[in-house]
Amino acid sequence: MTTFSFELYPPRSAGAESALYLALPHLVAAGPEFISVTYGANGSSREPSLSVLGRILEGTSVQAMAHLTCVGSSYSEASQLIRQFLDAGITSFLALRGDPPVGASEADSFLGDLGSAGELVQLIHRVQAEREQFAVHEVPGFPGAKRIARGRKVTIAVAAFPNGHPRSRSVSQDLDTLLAKEAAGANLAITQLFFHADHYLGFVEQARAAGVTMRILPGIMPVLSVQRLARILELTEEATPVDLERRLSAATDEADQWRIGIDHAVSLGSELIAGGATGLHLYTFNQHEPVLAVLRGAGLLDREKEHA
């Protein structure tokens, strides 16, 4: 079965918060596999992230995934933060190394005690194992009987880069890094944004050949304006998708740009599914209409469920 999931970011104003919580019920009603919530560099959005995650946990049956970064954290600080998320009921994480602080470069010392996302993956598993070493379950058919099992496992996703990490020296290094993350205990990968299906499909083929076995979900975002495309390229350092840029630039109005962006995302998502992708991870920009339009176009949205 092909799944889909969404990413949200913590709102930075009262108006943005209101808009997010208006969109959230529509996203939940669509039936995603999980909804992830981003986490600002150096913990800058810890409380807002926890607030959004708490709303998902308490008011829905959808799995909530917390983003975590390791830049600038000591082992003690990172462990406390992980425990805080676990105590809130979160058992699904996206473990990221994180970008250098503003003004810092790769040559500077900014990582803290955790030198990579792989080390963060190991720490999450360690904290959960220490926190919940075992669980007690009822034995069906034997009233009062109990059995002891290992504590709950956590789901830990990591980032993957179909067109290479901006600071990577080679494709081989990217694949070795992804393989190391899986060896550390990651059980899901979510890709950086890309604009052509072949970029993802070729990367997955290379990853499997390198020994990566975990699911690799493609991350896509409907690009609804030239300005948003420029911002995405600035953040990701991806090559400009010339055809999409030309079509958006030639659009007659915002509605035309919206249609072009949705059509591109639908085409991309459909190609990915046809090529074997087991799901789509959609970056929502905290809006529900565009991503739901993409899911409808790709044939992944149950209309009856959406309006239930």
Active site residues: 7
- Which letter does DSSP use for residue 4 in this model? E
For the chain, the straight-line distance linking the first and the last C-alpha, in angstroms and rounded, comes to 21
Exposed (0-12), middle (13-18) or buried (19+): which is 130, by Cβ within 10 Å? exposed
**Helix (H/G/I), strand (E/B), else coil: 168:** coil
**Helix (H/G/I), strand (E/B), else coil: 70:** coil
Contact indicator for 139, 147 with CB cutoff of 8 Å: yes
Contact indicator for 278, 3 with CB cutoff of 8 Å: yes
- List, in sequence order, every residue forming a beta bridge with 136; answer none if it has no partner: 148
For every residue of 101-163, DSSP letters joined together read PTT--TTS--SBT--SHHHHHHHHHHHHHHH--EEEEE-TTSTT-EEEEEPPP-EEEEEE-TT
Contact indicator for 37, 5 with CB cutoff of 8 Å: no
